[in-house]
Structure 1
Amino acid sequence: MSEKFIIDDRIFNLKFSCDVTKCKGACCTLKGAGGAPLLDEEVRIIKRNTEIAKKYLSVINIFHIDTDGVIEGEPGDYSLKSVNDEECIFAFYEEGIAKCAFQQAYNNNETDFKKPISCHLFPVRISGKKRNIIKYEEISECEDALVKGKADDITVFEFAREALVREYGEQFYKDLKSKYFTKKESQ
């Protein structure tokens, strides 16, 4: 199955483990980056879960949601809106760390929607019409995650396991792991 994919080798080689105590949830607040990319099928799910997520948000974010909505773009190119071209419309702060309102609602068993798959996968990005290009997205805000990844001995691939399984299934993940690590050991 993975033969039909173009995969950035860095996801297998680069060590990465998110350290939100250092980055403060920077991936939810990237200035000028636009909102998180969405799959077309996520649009309906997000609209259905917006009211649930609102209870975690600031008055400012709720105002923007009620005034401007939560999604922009068109089929095949949707994204979440951001506040002031910076933080995600669904970001809230807890002890100075930006967090996802959907994730919080999911953790509290209020929804079965964890968060957009692009957010769940980060720093892995998926692209291509068939969603068959898997790559690592490097941002300076994640430098501490590289340090922590080395200390914890976790690769980007391992860090993103749950999200990769959510996107492609358990068997895909196992096959890719087996293929890559067998290939690596034989070199």
Structure 2
Amino acid sequence: MIHINDTIISEVLLEKKFVCNLKACKGACCVEGDAGAPLDEDELKKLEEVYPIVKEYLSDQSIKALEENLYTVDTDGDYVTTLINNKECAYVVFEEDGTSKCGIEQAYLDGKTDWKKPISCHLFPVRLNEYETFTAVNYAYWDICDDACVLGEQLGVKVYQFLKEPLIRRFGEKWFNELELVDHNFNKI
């Protein structure tokens, strides 16, 4: 384990290779699973702010679900995005080939909002566990990402390198630079 400030980081982020392969998985992480994407409490207000903008990207079925609940609470008592029929995230939009993408992110890419998407989605396959005195930063293996691991190996990109933007978004550039330094030294051992 690696300790930077108030975070404990799994060494797997420095060892495992990973690059999302949307052509292969079709965005399965937005459709599979037993709950919606985890949400921080401050993101609940953000969802309320962006929903009127994001709504134009969503299907009628998504709008219906989100008009009832912009977010829900999972079995652990944590806030998560709403699901449709206990399957895909209600914020998902599907391309013609069936690839799922985030409607919130699409609005961001179109310059209609300044919020890219929930941090848990942006950080995936990294998951954060918040404790009283520290945050655990872990790689969450899921077989739907096997193609991403293969592509990461082919390209030589480590998990933390692939997730540079969201890691900086969550922890800051100084934190990320320290992680890079640890990785540099880690590989000398």
TM over 0.5: yes
Residue 71 of structure 2 is matched in structure 1 by 71
Residue 81 of structure 2 is matched in structure 1 by 80
Specify the code of the residue in structure 2 equivalent to 1:72.
T
Asked if 1 retains the 8 angstrom alpha-carbon contact of 2:8 and 2:134, the reply is no
Q: TM-score, normalised by structure 2?
A: 0.92
State the Cα distance separating 1:131 from its structure 2 match: 5.5
Long gaps (5+) in structure 1: none
State the Cα distance separating 1:85 from its structure 2 match: 0.8
Residue 97 of structure 1 is matched in structure 2 by 99
Residue 53 of structure 1 is matched in structure 2 by 54
Secondary structure of the residue aligned to 1:154 is coil
* Separation (CA, whole Å) in 1 of partners of 2:43 and 2:127: 16
* Separation (CA, whole Å) in 1 of partners of 2:5 and 2:102: 34
Structure 1 moving runs of 4+ over 4 Å: none
Residue 184 of structure 1 is matched in structure 2 by 187
Is 1:16 aligned with 2:15? no
Secondary structure of the residue aligned to 2:57 is coil
Residue 152 of structure 1 is matched in structure 2 by 155
Asked if 1 retains the 8 angstrom alpha-carbon contact of 2:62 and 2:90, the reply is yes
Asked if 1 retains the 8 angstrom alpha-carbon contact of 2:6 and 2:134, the reply is no
Asked if 1 retains the 8 angstrom alpha-carbon contact of 2:65 and 2:82, the reply is no
User: Which residue, 9, 25, 28 being the options, matches 2:27?
Assistant: 25
* Separation (CA, whole Å) in 2 of partners of 1:167 and 1:44: 17
Residue 123 of structure 1 is matched in structure 2 by 125
Alpha-carbon deviations, 1:54-84, whole Å to 9, x = none?
1111111111112x2121129x821111111
Secondary structure of the residue aligned to 1:38 is coil
State the Cα distance separating 1:7 from its structure 2 match: 1.4
State the Cα distance separating 1:160 from its structure 2 match: 0.7
Moved more, 172-181 or 122-131: 122-131
Alpha-carbon deviations, 1:113-163, whole Å to 9, x = none?
000000000001111225610000111110000110011110101011100
Q: TM-score, normalised by structure 1?
A: 0.93
* Separation (CA, whole Å) in 2 of partners of 1:135 and 1:125: 5
* Separation (CA, whole Å) in 2 of partners of 1:166 and 1:103: 15
* Separation (CA, whole Å) in 1 of partners of 2:30 and 2:171: 24
> 1:73/1:2 Cα in 2 relative to 1: closer, same or farther (>3 Å)?
same
Asked if 1 retains the 8 angstrom alpha-carbon contact of 2:19 and 2:159, the reply is yes
User: Which residue, 158, 164, 174 being the options, matches 2:167?
Assistant: 164
> 1:167/1:113 Cα in 2 relative to 1: closer, same or farther (>3 Å)?
same
Secondary structure of the residue aligned to 1:55 is helix
Secondary structure of the residue aligned to 1:64 is helix
> 1:157/1:81 Cα in 2 relative to 1: closer, same or farther (>3 Å)?
same
- Identity %, equivalent residues: 35
Residue 5 of structure 1 is matched in structure 2 by 7
* Separation (CA, whole Å) in 2 of partners of 1:184 and 1:4: 23
Specify the code of the residue in structure 1 equivalent to 2:86.
D
* Separation (CA, whole Å) in 1 of partners of 2:92 and 2:70: 12
Residue 146 of structure 2 is matched in structure 1 by 143
For this pair of structures, how many residues does the alignment match? 183
